[in-house]
Amino acid sequence: MKKRNLWIPFMLLVSSCSSAAGTSLRSSYFDSEFEEEFAYHFEEEGKILTDSEVSNSSDPYLVLDGLYGEDLSIGEGTLKLPSSVKSESLGKSFEVRMIGKGAFKNLSSLTKLVLPSTLSSVGEEAFSSCPSLNEVDFDGDSALSYIGKDAFSSTPFLEKEREGNFYLGKVLLLADKDQNGEDAVSEGTVSIASRAFSSSKYSSLVLPDSLKSVGEEAFSDMENLTSADLKNASSAEGIFRGTPLKSLAYSGDVSAEGLGLTSLKSAQITGKRPCADVLKNQTNLVSVDLSGTEFLLPGSFENDAKIESVTGTDALKFSGDSYLLTSTGFGKNLPDGDVYLGTSYLGTKGDTLPVLKENTTGITGDSLINQGLSELPEGLVGIGEEALKGNDFTELNLNSLEYLGNGAFEGNEHLVSVSLGAECSAGSASLKGCPNVSSLSVPSSLSCEDVFGESSVSSLKSLELKGKGTVAAKAYAGCPSLENVSVLEGTEAVLSEAFRNCSSLRKVSLPDSLVRIEKSAFSDDSSLAEVAFSEDISLASMEGFLFSNDSSLQTFGWEENKVRFPKTLRKCGSCVFQGCSLLEEVLISVSSSFRKDFSLYVLPYAFSPDWDFDPEGNRRVPHTAVFVS
């Protein structure tokens, strides 16, 4: 048997783990006084940072998660939270910008709270059930713009009698609920807290342009309020629950039903892309203004049979279903012929044959079934459910497409090639019953079953996966004719068994963005000869049995007939190359600056059984370690 050489620097890694805030094993960044008082973590732009990410982040900040020990740092009943804390070890200070969910709840001796001027957010139940808390002060001008649900519930502070509206920072915490008529919320208000106006007697509200968010049930049970204009503020669930609102203008980020509304007669949607079912089940709705709206998902008007007027549709690019046309007074009063809202095709009334305009950007569900179509306009952004079922397409280049409904091209038997947009959101089985599709280009998050309604298909030969996302477990496993797979930039992971048992698969191309490949992702692919990627790939982990029984594999990396481990690789799992009998050598690429501390964790039996065995370490390792720069 020919002797094989393994050129690889090898060191067994034993990693240490830091525990979560609140335990004695956490990393310490600050002086002992702060470390002994507060539980905390770091974030940047809403993302929780690991210990290793803190020093390299451009704008990290502190989130306080509570105290160590009950009432430990409350001197004479006062808790004063710091505005910033300096870390000597990192050489910089960190602002305190957030208080975590439930961080300081149930503090029995807390009577006064002093919040820092840097604070922007107080989490849900952060100070709830503090039975002695009756005073909350700010240290200077406040940046506070969000207070979560029940942040001060069951405290004397919340239950105090006050005149007029009460603010904490830029948040309207409590409205004056004893007043009638109109209330004008102050300009500069950024947020209205949960239940702020609940059960108040106002019949009219004037909300400012500065308003960005409204908390849960903020306007609930207001028996006199019949109209509201939220402008572009984001909405929480149930904000109008129990309120007999007749007219609403808002962005459409939560469905009207989700807001607690059942009696709307008129609605204005100002957002470009309102949520699914935005006005569903508004059975009293008569008029709709869509000024500024570009994209309406299926179900937007379901069960709204009383709609008579739809205006402001000039900007509309896609309307997801045909309900407006087929089941409302608005649709019934339209003349015969092709019907459009903006540039979205809704359907054709009467006996005339449909003709799509060149500038058509959307096609409504069920609208063009069995029409013998073989071409589509360029620039489509949305196609509804079963919209083009049973037609005669052979090739579809839909790279501008952002939404594809369930079964949209079902039964297109002549279809051979399909390309969707990288960020396209696709429903289930959009290509069901398309038995001749051999070339497919789709977002990496879509699996074979998502696209075809089957876990594997016999026709598929070439596959391109694109856009941000993860290739799902078993995504294309068992596709017998699949020959080439290209995973494009943006994809970060290929999950377990994603391409297992693809017997015809010969070549796979991986992007620089790829970080990990999970267990058996390409195992039992007996024809796989080449897995290509550049030396700039970010690959850090290859899990066990990854290429197990891939007896044709010769190339892994950027050089033909060589196996090159990228410089970023830190783990090679057990039996990764088991049964890859054609491998001659394995090389590791690493910058010379990393020579002293570089390490690679290789689990037992990573390579073929005839590699030299190290009984002491119970793993197959090389006789020597050589860096390849």
Q: Identify the pLDDT of residue 73.
A: 56
DSSP string computed for 54-65? HTT-SS-EEEEE
Kind of pairing, strands 287-289 and 309-311?
parallel
Q: Which of 363, 362, 334 is nearest to 349 (CA)?
A: 334
- Cβ-based neighbour number of residue 499 at 10 Å: 26
Q: Identify the pLDDT of residue 561.
A: 87
Specify which of 178-182, 448-452, 622-626 reaches the highest per-range mean pLDDT.
Answer: 448-452
E strand segments, 454-557: 462-466, 469-471, 484-487, 491-494, 507-509, 516-517, 530-532, 541-542, 555-557
Gyration radius of the chain's alpha carbons:
31
Residues 146-156 have a mean pLDDT of: 95
Residue 436's SS3 state is: coil
More confident residue, 194 or 6: 194
Contact 49, 83 (CB under 8 A): no
Q: Identify the pLDDT of residue 180.
A: 85
At 98-116, the pLDDT tens digits run 999 999 999 988 999 999 9
Q: Identify the pLDDT of residue 611.
A: 47
Q: Does position 626 have pLDDT exceeding 90, yes or no?
A: no
How many angstroms separate the CA atoms of 159 and 131, rounded?
11
Q: Identify the pLDDT of residue 76.
A: 79
More confident residue, 569 or 605: 569
Q: Which residues pair with 135 in a beta bridge?
A: 112
How many angstroms separate the CA atoms of 264 and 197, rounded?
20
pTM greater than 0.85 (yes/no): no
At 532-591, the pLDDT tens digits run 999 999 999 999 999 999 999 999 999 888 888 888 888 888 888 888 888 777 776 655
Tokens describing residue 367: 């609208």
Contact 314, 290 (CB under 8 A): no
DSSP string computed for 227-263? EEE-TT-EE-TTTTTT----EEEE--SS-TTTTT-S-
At 379-422, the pLDDT tens digits run 999 999 999 999 999 999 999 999 999 999 999 999 999 999 99
Q: Does position 505 have pLDDT exceeding 90, yes or no?
A: yes
Give me the chain's average pLDDT, please: 88
The alpha carbon torsion through 258, 262, 268, 271 (nearest 10 deg) reads 10
Q: Which of 160, 163, 202 is nearest to 184 (CA)?
A: 202
Give 139's pLDDT tier (boundaries 50, 70, 90): low
Q: Which residues pair with 114 in a beta bridge?
A: 80, 137
Mention every residue, 6+ apart, whose C-beta is less than 8 A from residue 39.
Answer: 21, 22, 64, 65, 66, 67, 68, 103
At 428-467, the pLDDT tens digits run 999 999 999 999 999 999 999 999 999 999 999 999 999 9
Q: Does position 89 have pLDDT exceeding 50, yes or no?
A: yes
At 3-60, the pLDDT tens digits run 333 334 333 332 222 233 333 345 688 988 888 889 999 999 989 998 878 888 899 9
* Least-confidence region, from 156-165, 229-238, 511-520: 156-165
Residue 556's SS3 state is: strand
Q: Does position 1 have pLDDT exceeding 70, yes or no?
A: no
Q: What are phi and psi of 231, to 5 degrees?
A: 55, -125
At 206-220, the pLDDT tens digits run 999 999 999 999 999
Of the chain, the end-to-end C-alpha distance in Å amounts to: 30
Contact 444, 465 (CB under 8 A): yes
Residues 505-528 have a mean pLDDT of: 97
How many angstroms separate the CA atoms of 517 and 523, rounded?
12
Contact 252, 232 (CB under 8 A): no
Q: What residue type is assigned to position 252 of the chain?
A: G
Q: Which of 22, 60, 20 is nearest to 38 (CA)?
A: 22
Sign of the alpha-carbon torsion through 316, 320, 323, 326: positive
Tokens describing residue 547: 């290429």
How many angstroms separate the CA atoms of 421 and 428, rounded?
16
How many angstroms separate the CA atoms of 496 and 107, rounded?
47
* Least-confidence region, from 99-108, 135-144, 181-190, 546-555: 135-144
Tokens describing residue 170: 């830029």
Q: Identify the pLDDT of residue 601.
A: 66
How many angstroms separate the CA atoms of 409 and 427, rounded?
11
Residue 367 to residues 300, 301, 383, 415: CA-CA distances in angstroms?
16, 16, 10, 19
